[in-house]
Structure 1
Amino acid sequence: MAGAELAGLAADRRRPRATEVEQHGIGTIPDAERSSRPFDLFRIQFGGANTFATVILGTFPVLLGLSLVQAVLATVVGVLVGALFLMPMGLFGPRTGTNNAVSSGAHFGVRGRVLGSFLSLLTAFAFYSISVWVSGDALVGASTRLFGTGDSDLLRGVIYALLGALVIVVVVYGYQFMLLVNKVVVVANTVLILLGVVAYASVFDLGYDPGPGAYALGSFWPTFVLSALIVMGNPVSFGAFLGDWARYIPRGTSTGRLLLATLGAQLATLVPFLFGVATATLVAGEVDYVFALIQASPIWYAVLLMVVAFLGGMSTGITSLYGTGLDFSSVFPRLSRVQASLVIGAVAFVFILVGRLVFDLLASVNAFVGLIVICTTPWMVIMAIGYWVRRGHYDAADLQVFNEGRRGGRYWATAGTNWRGMAAWVPSAVAGLLFANYPPLIAGPLRDVAGGVDLSLLVSIGLAAVIYVALLFAFPEPRYVFGPDGPRLVPAADLPLPPVVDDPRASAHRTGRRGAQPQAPEPTSAPAPTGGDQR
């Protein structure tokens, strides 16, 4: 492309105002509207995790009985391992122009990609709930300390409702407003959290160690592994959502820059994680970490914690809820993005009230994080392998056929489901649950085969990788799903490309509503080779 044409394209890209309600659903984002950069991907990830929700996950290693040094090591391991699995998930959006659940249709089928929608829903409920729970509790604790309001279920419920409603308002406005909020949170919460070094300097104990008798699972290694897995749940939770934001990054953006944006964002989350580790040692043994920490804080820092809680609750809640509302507007075609966001938000708020006021918070968090790690990680592994063998080649138009009430195309596979991906994911997730040990709510029958060390992650990702690669060799995919350079390493089958036709069973209004959204019909890279692969 000539320099003048590139300059014109850049000039045509206009970043919408934050106060403009986003009109796009999961349809392909046109090139002219892809105004984000890899740095925006960094900011929105770090902003979404630079919150009290992440701080709470950081307290788990200490709550489970590790010493300060052991807890720090478990946290670093969890963040690094989780980041390595997460990094490839930022590559899909710029190439497909849509979110990761829809992009997964290339490997699970355009109907089978509903699995990604389910995983995003699971993650959204978990982290939206955690963010509102924890931030609400922090505000209750601070108001009790500062104004003597006292603690009650009614007060907590009112604050939960206010936080939850504010999150939904931002989600309704959409991506640009969410990006603005995260720009603020990245800077503000980092500064406020780092001020904790000053606030707790006189009472912090670098030698904190409750001793071997405190290990929650009876011995060091089982407790250490569980702690690292809980921490890992945070980066893994972004797997289903990175495409929500990366789809606004221009196609052709450097792969290295995208990978580094995600790695850098996850490494930056060590700020809130290690804040949680350090402060958990100050209130070890207390039932309510947030409430106890505020009571133990200098009065000036208790005030700042209210700001951290509010900004953090907004940021985590927004990044969790936005993607699910976006995706379920396609799964349930009667709902627009805004309507789907409102429905999911309302259901999630009911879950917040029941989960916080009826069940044990820590047990609920532990169980949800376990499900996210066990179920989402093998899905990410399959996606990453699929990306590699296809050399990052995707047809943006064919990924949208199900959303537009049509059928056929490159990713139709068998009745809309690619059984290769499904046949690899199902046994890996089930096996992971059998080996899982996230007490007290998740305790698989095979959890003790390694002396109590949780093998669920190794089992689930190992099975997913082995089964999926084996199926790609035993049952080659059609040549038309690969790019002009053909498949990498795996074989391909010469089969006719199914034509894209209207699906008579689809609701007539679906095509109309989707058709109103700007689409980019051209593929994301060079067209398929000539021959039997063409429509």
Structure 2
Amino acid sequence: MTADGSTTAPAPVRAIESKSIDWVPIGERRGRPRTLFPLWFMSNAQLTTLATGMLGAALGASFLSSVIAIVLGMAVGTVFTAFHSAQGPQLGLPQMIQSRAQFGYRGVVLICAVVVFSIVGFNIFNQMLAADVVVMTTGIDAPDLWYVVITALALLLAIWGYHWIHATQKWLTALFLVTFGVFTVAAAIVLPLDAAQLSLEGFAWGPFLVQFGGAAAYGLGWAPYVSDYSRYLPPQTSSRAALVHTFGGVFLGGAWLMVLGAFVAALYAGVSPLEGVRDAADAVLPGSGFWLLIAGIPGLISVITVNIYAAALELVTIVDSFRPITPSRRVRILACTVVGVAGLLGAVLSTGEFLDNFSSFLVVLLYVLVPWTSVNLVDYYFVRRGRYAVREIFVPGGVYGNWGWRGLLAYGLGILAMVPFVVTSFFTGPVATAMGGIDVALFVGLGVSALVYLLLARSLDLGEERRLAEEDAHAGGPSSVAFDGSR
């Protein structure tokens, strides 16, 4: 059954996915929460993540300092992502469509635009790194050509959709464990670090916080679309299981590769991510660096796919919010193509140092996503407790309104509250300056947005919303499932 109440036959997994922003009918739900682990593990266990682990070292942090920052940052960022993932099976909706309940039918466009921008930004960096790998391994210095090839492969998989992406990530996880898993163990044994790298002597907050922020932003960066990849799971799926498998995949995949990046940076100061990996592998076994880089290419292509697929749903949401459209296979394919081409053009036109640009991008991404995640999670777990009139989410001017002023105000105030505390390469807030450059903007944004939204939500009329949800459920439409933390 679709969001408008019509019935459809379950689509075969082998077919190109036809769903986009519409509700996934119960009859088309399948899978187990454990499938989320390889999906998110492999989305993080790739070379862009490794490069993120070198941010602190580039500013002088020791290996031990970087490891502490990486583990703490990934833990903080990933916990929010995991709680968003648990929403997918309960609602059967993409993340941003669900956010209409907090920001309004049209108000959600602001958040969607931020997410699309961030996803395209990630893909630009991913494509730059993937093209560099191909150039290094083939000797053919034609990055623009490789951008086109990489985009085409990623776009093709994104068009086939949800189930194919899940299956691909499962097989790539096995490939990663055989290649990078063996390399990691061997490097730790064969390539000893200088004793200074294993101490906190000379510790400085600046490099530590840059690495912490980069790791936290990386873990949190999946939050706006993580439930896009859990929405086909049955509604009886344990929320705890979805949360644990998502957290485990993102955290282990991200922390592993970032720590490996910090290790490589500690071995070869000032080296680029790809050169460092190649040199470290060759030091373990001469000639193995070439094959290790080759093994890293599929992971980069697959994460570009994951991003294209999700950004396409956000793009469809943006268009639908102003001019309602019928979700279809053709609409999703068109949106995927637009997102893929945007990333391609961005990669072709981009210049500058990879790590410098990527570090600044991650910091800004963290700032703009924190207030949204705070509002969304507070609404889902504390205000509405998982009860939504799903059909009304697709109605312009319906029970959720066109502009959710409570969510938008809480988001805006969260952004403003962070400004005095931010630390970036182009601006440092006055409070952060007085604190010696310590960046606590993340926690300020989370707290302010959550508190403001909780206060404003007291004026919500949830009775009418729940009545509509119950009528819809009794009529056999999209069901409203109450969140139960014990499930």
TM-score, with structure 1 as normaliser: 0.79
Within 5 Å, which residues of 2 pair with 1:204-223?
A: 204-205=192-193, 207-209=195-197, 220-223=204-207
Q: Does 1:455 align with 2:440?
A: yes
User: What is the aligned counterpart of 2:366 among 358, 363, 373?
Assistant: 373
How far apart, CA to CA, are the structure 1 residues paired with 2:200 and 2:34? 43
Secondary structure at the aligned position of 1:28 is classed as: coil
Relative to structure 1, the CA distance from residue 291 to residue 15 in structure 2 (aligned partners, 3 Å threshold; closer, same or farther) is farther
**% of aligned pairs identical?**
23
| Aligned equivalent of 2:191 | 203
Of residues 254, 260, 263, the one that matches 1:275 is: 260
Preserved contact between residue 116 and residue 314 of structure 2 (Cα < 8 Å): no
Cα displacement string for residues 445-497 of structure 1 (whole angstroms, at most 9, x for unaligned residues): 55413111112212211211121122223xx101236648xxxxxxxxxxx99
- What amino acid is the match of 2:22? G
Residue 448 of structure 1 aligns to a residue whose secondary structure is helix
Identify which of 28, 35, 41 aligns with 2:30. Answer: 35
Decide whether aligned partners of structure 1 residues 21 and 445 sit closer, same or farther in structure 2, where only a CA change above 3 A counts: farther
Distance 1:300 1:32 in 2: 51
Q: Tell me the equivalent position of 2:379.
A: 386
Query: 2:319 & 2:263 partners in 1: Cα distance?
Result: 44
Preserved CA contact (<8 Å) 1:92 1:103: no
Matches of residues 40-439 of structure 1 in structure 2 within 5 Å?
A: 40-144=35-139, 152=141, 155-196=142-183, 197-199=185-187, 201-205=189-193, 207-209=195-197, 220-269=204-253, 270-286=255-271, 288-298=272-282, 299-333=286-320, 336-355=331-350, 358-388=351-381, 389-401=383-395, 407-412=396-401, 416-439=402-425
Contact 1:52–1:308 (8 Å) recurs in 2: no
Range that drifts further, 246-255 or 265-274: 265-274
Question: For the structure 1 residues 481 and 115, does the alpha-carbon distance in structure 2 shift closer, same or farther, using more than 3 Å as the test?
Answer: farther
- Which deviations, in whole Å up to 9, do the C-alpha atoms of 1:410-433 show, x marking residues without a partner? 212xxx111111101012123324
Deviations 1:204-236 (A, max 9, x none): 3162439999x8xxx612321221110111110
Q: For 2:264 and 2:147, how far apart are their aligned partners in 1?
A: 24
The aligned amino acid for 2:43 is G
> Per the alignment, do residues 302 and 220 of structure 1 end up closer, same or farther by CA in structure 2, a change over 3 Å counting?
same
For 2:423, give the aligned amino acid.
Answer: N
- Structure (1 or 2) with the larger CA radius of gyration: 1
Deviations 1:283-304 (A, max 9, x none): 2122x23134324531442133
Q: Deviations over 1:57-97 (max 9, x none)?
A: 11212222111111111111011111222221012222221
Name the aligned partner's letter for residue 421 of structure 2. F
SS state of the match for residue 195, structure 1? helix
Q: Hey, what's the Cα distance between the residues in 2 that align with 1:211 and 1:250?
A: 48
* Residue 479 (structure 1) aligns with: 462
Structure 2 partner of 1:404: none
Letter in 2 for 1:429: I
For 1:74 and 1:520, how far apart are their aligned partners in 2? 49
Q: Which residue of 2 aligns with 1:469?
A: 454
Higher relative contact order (CA closer than 8 Å, sequence separation 6+)? 2
Alignment of 1:493-508 (within 5 A): none
Amino acid at match of 1:371: V
Which structure 2 segments of 5+ residues have no match? Answer: 1-7, 483-487
Indicate the structure with greater helix content: 2
Please, what TM-score do these two structures have when normalized by structure 2?
0.87
Q: CA 1:423/1:13 → structure 2, altered by over 3 Å: closer, same or farther?
A: same
Residue of structure 2 aligned with 1:17, choices 13, 17, 31: 13
Contact 2:155 2:340 in 1 (8 A): yes
Question: In structure 2, what is the Cα distance between the partners aligned to 1:182 and 1:345?
Answer: 19
Cα distance, 1:30 vs structure 2: 0.8
Structure 1: how far apart are the matches of 2:27 and 2:115? 28
Match of 1:524 in 2: 480
- Asked if the contact 1:189/1:311 (under 8 Å) is kept, the reply is no
What is the count of residue pairs matched by the alignment? Answer: 458
Letter in 1 for 2:192: F
Instruction: Give the 3-state SS of the residue equivalent to 1:297 in structure 2.
Output: helix
| Structure 1 unaligned residues grouped into runs of 5+ | 1-11, 402-406, 485-495, 501-518, 527-535
CA distance in 2, matches of 1:39, 1:211: 37
In structure 1, how many angstroms separate the alpha carbons of the residues matched to 2:419 and 2:151?
Answer: 31
Question: Against the structure 1 CA distance between its residues 250 and 211, is the aligned structure 2 distance closer, same or farther, given a 3 Å change threshold?
Answer: closer
Write the distance in 2 (CA, Å) between the matches of 1:13 and 1:83.
36
Matched to 2:370, the amino acid is T
Q: Against the structure 1 CA distance between its residues 208 and 338, is the aligned structure 2 distance closer, same or farther, given a 3 Å change threshold?
A: farther
Shift of 1:199: 4.8
Per-residue deviation, 1:186? 1.6
Q: 1:432 to 1:443 in 2, by over 3 A?
A: same
1:511 alignment partner in structure 2? none
Q: 1:253 to 1:202 in 2, by over 3 A?
A: closer
Task: Tell me the distance in 2 between the aligned counterparts of 1:201 and 1:134.
Answer: 27
* Alpha-carbon distance between aligned partners in 2 of 1:305 and 1:289, rounded to the nearest angstrom: 13
**Distance change >3 Å, CA 138–CA 445, structure 1 → 2:** farther
Asked if structure 1 preserves the Cα contact closer than 8 Å seen for 2:55 and 2:210, the reply is no
CA distance in 1: counterparts of 2:150 and 2:289, whole angstroms:
19
Decide whether the 8 Å contact of 1:138 with 1:294 is kept in 2. Answer: no
What whole-Å deviation, never above 9, does each CA across 1:138-193 have from its counterpart, x for those lacking one? Answer: 2322334xxxx5xx4xx222222211221111111111221122112222113311
Alignment check: 8 A CA contact 1:58 1:75 kept: yes
Cα distance change of structure 1 residues 430 and 316 upon mapping to structure 2, 3 Å threshold: farther
Write the distance in 2 (CA, Å) between the matches of 1:210 and 1:43: 31
- The CA distance in 2 between the partners of 1:279 and 1:157, in whole Å, is 28
